[in-house]
Amino acid sequence: MANILIQNSVKHYAGRLSDRPKKLQYGDYYYAEDVNQLYKYDYQGFPRLVGSQVLLVSQRADNYNALQDGSDVGDLSYVKDSVGTQWLPGTVGGTYYPNGWYIWDGSSWNSDRNAIANQLEMNTRDLENKSDIGHTHTISEIVDFPDLLDLEGQDGQDGQDGTNGTNGTDGTDGSDGQDGSDGQGVPVGGSAGQVLEKVDGTDYNTQWITPSSGGTTINFFQVQDDSGSGQQLASANYVDANSAIWDSAFVDTGFSWDGTELTVEDASNAIEFNVSIQGITSSNSRVELGVRLMEDTGSGYLGLTTVSQYALRNNLQNEGNVTLVSFYVFNVAAGTKYKIQASNKGGATNIGTQGGTYFNAKRFSQL
| CA 15, 17, 19, 21 torsion-angle sign | positive
- pLDDT tens, position by position, 287-330: 888 899 999 999 999 999 988 877 766 555 557 788 889 999 99
For 50, the enclosing helix (H) or strand (E) is strand 47-51
Domains along the chain with CATH numbers: 2-129 (no CATH), 216-366 (2.60.120.40)
How far CA 151 is from CA of 143, 146, 221, 343, in Å, comes to 14, 9, 75, 81
Residues 259/261/265/267 CA torsion (nearest 10 deg)? 150
Radius of gyration of the chain (CA): 34
Q: pTM score, two decimals?
A: 0.42
**What is the share, in percent, of the chain residues with pLDDT greater than 90?**
21
Higher pLDDT, 274 or 74: 274
- Label residues 296-331 b or e (16+ Cβ within 10 Å = b): eeeeeeeeeeebeeebbeeeeebebbbbbeeeebee
What is the per-residue pLDDT for 79? 85
- CA gap 335, 269 in Å, rounded: 14
- For 12-167, where are the alpha helices, taking DSSP H only? 53-56, 113-123, 145-150
pLDDT digits 0-9 by tens, 132-158: 433 334 444 444 444 444 546 678 888
Give pLDDT tens digits for 198-251.
989 898 899 988 877 667 889 999 998 887 777 888 777 888 888 888 888 999
Distance CA 77, CA 121 (A): 14
Q: Among the listed ranges 47-51, 272-276, 291-295, which one has the minimum average pLDDT value?
A: 47-51
From CA 99, how far away is CA 83, in angstroms rounded?
8
| Average pLDDT estimate for 263-271 | 94
Q: Using the CB atoms, write b or e for 114-127: b if 16+ within 10 Å.
A: ebbbbbbbeeeeee
Rounded to an integer, what distance in angstroms lies between the CA atom of residue 213 and that of residue 136?
Answer: 59
Give the span between the Cα atoms of 80 and 98, in whole angstroms.
9
**Pairing of the two strands 268-281 and 349-351:** antiparallel
* Per-residue pLDDT at 39: 73
